[in-house]
A and B are shown apart, each in its own frame.
Chain A
Amino acid sequence: MSAETRFAPGTFTPAPGRGRLGRMLAVQTATETKLALRNGEQLLLTLIIPLALLVGLTELPIIDIGTPRVDWVAPRVLALAIMSTAFTSQAISLGFDRRYGVLKRLAATALPRWLLVAGRVLSACCIVVVQLVVLSAVAALLGWSPHLSGLGEAVPLLVLGALAFGALGVLLGGSVRAEITLAVANAVWFVLLLAGGIAVPESSLPAGLATVVDLLPSGALAGGLTDALARGTSPGAGPYLVLLAWTVVPGLIATRTTRLT
């Protein structure tokens, strides 16, 4: 087959230009979301384990928390879900996307850098929405009755929590080798789950550790959500300030350390 029959003249006549921002953002967000929902390991982390913990901790009296148990388990599982998506899953996928040259490929297009970040953030938000819907529905089946008055505090806490863990995820996944990211992201997830104020409430931790836990994004998010949804009280400014600090500082460092490859 000759060039003439395969490619009509004029087919490739240059017509460079940037696509519409809204469409770029929509396509990138949709692609990343589909990839995350299709990836078995990521689903295990973002949905299956949180679901298992929600049901397990509610039904089995392993850890001493308030009653009804589900009211105290659900806010903690929501905090875990946020950490899994925004931090662990995000860091690992960013690490491997860098490794496989995806960021370079996208940076070589007309896609602005900020949009590259925005697409990932929006995609993480979509996953978080799916998590919140599924986990809340299952918690409701288990008899969850959160203090609806606490929703006004829970929503900004969830958003700030996602931003703080997201900044940490980008900081980790954007700077070191993919294998190191994989190991560290999973280890941190596990440590924060057990000793960072998520699965085990601060009250059950040794006194020294409890103070540290309040200053961790995991402790601040889980504690704040528990206050708002289980106790129906305001967590005060503390958790907000902690999460804000964990957003700003890692975020600023990440803008300097994040590399495309």
Chain B
Amino acid sequence: MSLDATTSNRSAADPDQVLAVHGLVKRFGAVTAVDGLDLAQRRGTVLAVLGPNGAGKTTTIEICEGFQRPDAGDVRVLGHRPDARELRPRIGVMPQGGGAYPGVRAGEMLRLVASCARQPLDVDWLLGVLGLTDALRTPYKRLSGGQQQRLSLACAVVGRPELVFLDEPTAGLDPQARRLVWDLVRALRTDGVSVLLTTHLMDEAESLADDVVILDHGRVVATGTPAELTADATDEQRLGFRASPGLPLADLLTRLPGCTAEEPDPGRYVIRGPIGPREVSTVTAWCAERGVLAEELKVVRRSLEDVFLDLTGRELR
């Protein structure tokens, strides 16, 4: 992909863009980890970068953080080149694993990182709210995986940055800790901090992100808001329910114009088509006329996971 001067100039000038990546390429020998990637993030938003293992998420983030040099392309972070010194205090970084002396205690590490900032958050409060108070004096190498993750997250936000890069912030966290991280990301967003995160959890991206980018083989394969990505082009929705097996679906369909119906397993029914409140009540009424109770009635939207699997394939690699 070639780079034209007009795009990069525009991105550098736009104060509302915290991140502008154009035509980014990064190769490792024969492997092209990032292959002509474009990204943009608006200030104060949460951008989720999704993609299968090896799609190039970490490589892209590390280039934005200034830790790796791109082979081609233009990257602007808060209007600066990624390796600019003046950028350091303004960004927060949570790498995918690691990032502390093996023998350092959690409290010492966070205090060290906090000392680098002019107006850091209160270290003891942050350790407490992230559930690390009990682990204060435990050496890093003896912390559990989830505790290490939370310490790393604390290090990313303690300096009060404008833009935070979180590489798989909830990997390996229990459900409580995951909720905590979600709350934290939402609070960051509320306070005007821009957050770029990667994740393999589609529900995480759906509930946290303003915008989603799906990568595959180092390229962007889809981008948009979660709603845009999951909106079905054909406007088709599904209504699923359980009832006694063998109901006469052809009769039901006479009352549901434009819909199709099937019984994939005995007693489990799926109606496809433009499903609205009227269609739902038609189904329950029709069942009631037959003295049958429709259970587990659910309108199923196309999930982000469906979109992801459609775009990136269902095979493991």
A positions within 8 Å CB-CB of B: 1-3, 6-7, 9-19, 23-24, 27-28, 31, 34-35, 38-39, 96-97, 100-102, 104-112, 260-261
Contact = CB atoms under 8 A, between A and B. Distances in A.
Nearest to B92: A108
A3 B186 contact: yes
A35 B24 CA distance: 40
B183 A18 contact: no
A190 to B, nearest CB: 24
A204 to B, nearest CB: 39
A7 B159 contact: no
Interface in B91-114: 91-93, 95, 97-104, 108-109, 111-114
A6 B187 contact: yes
A46 to B, nearest CB: 15
A18 B118 contact: yes
B95 A31 contact: no
Given A6-B180, A12-B160, A101 B112 contact: no
Contacts of B69: none
Interface stretch (B82-90, B253-261, B271-279, B308-316): B82-90
Q: Which 3 pairs of residues, A with B, have the shortest CB-CB distance?
A: A17-B118, A101-B98, A7-B187
Nearest to B108: A31
Contacts of B120: 19
A101 to B, nearest CB: 3
Contact of B193 (A1, A12, A31, A111): A12
A118 to B, nearest CB: 14
Contacts of A27: 111-112, 115
Nearest to A25: B115
B91 A3 contact: no
Most chain-A Cβ atoms within 10 A of its Cβ — which of B101, B118, B184?
B101
Interface residues of B, number: 49
Given A7-B184, A14-B160, A110 B190 contact: no
B95 A11 contact: no
B173 to A, nearest CB: 16
B259 to A, nearest CB: 39
A109 B113 contact: yes
A104 B98 CA distance: 9
A125 B141 CA distance: 26
A24 to B, nearest CB: 5
B197 interface: no
Given A3-B183, A13-B160, A14-B161, A102 B115 contact: no
Nearest to A27: B115
Contacts of A35: 101, 103-104
B155 interface: yes
Nearest to A109: B116
A24 B104 CA distance: 17
A96 B236 CA distance: 55
A182 to B, nearest CB: 13
Given A1-B183, A106-B112, 16 more contacts: A1-B179, A6-B187, A7-B184, A12-B121, A13-B191, A14-B160, A14-B161, A15-B118, A19-B117, A27-B115, A31-B101, A31-B104, A101-B97, A104-B95, A105-B99, A110-B118
Given A16-B161, A19-B118, A101-B99, A11 B193 contact: no
Interface in B284-310: none
A209 B116 CA distance: 49
A105 B159 contact: no
B129 interface: yes
Contacts of B116: 18-19, 24, 106, 109-111
Contacts of A104: 67, 95, 98-99
A10 B119 contact: no
Contact of A105 (B95, B119, B157, B191): B95
B162 interface: yes
Contact of A17 (B89, B92, B188): B89
A108 B113 CA distance: 9
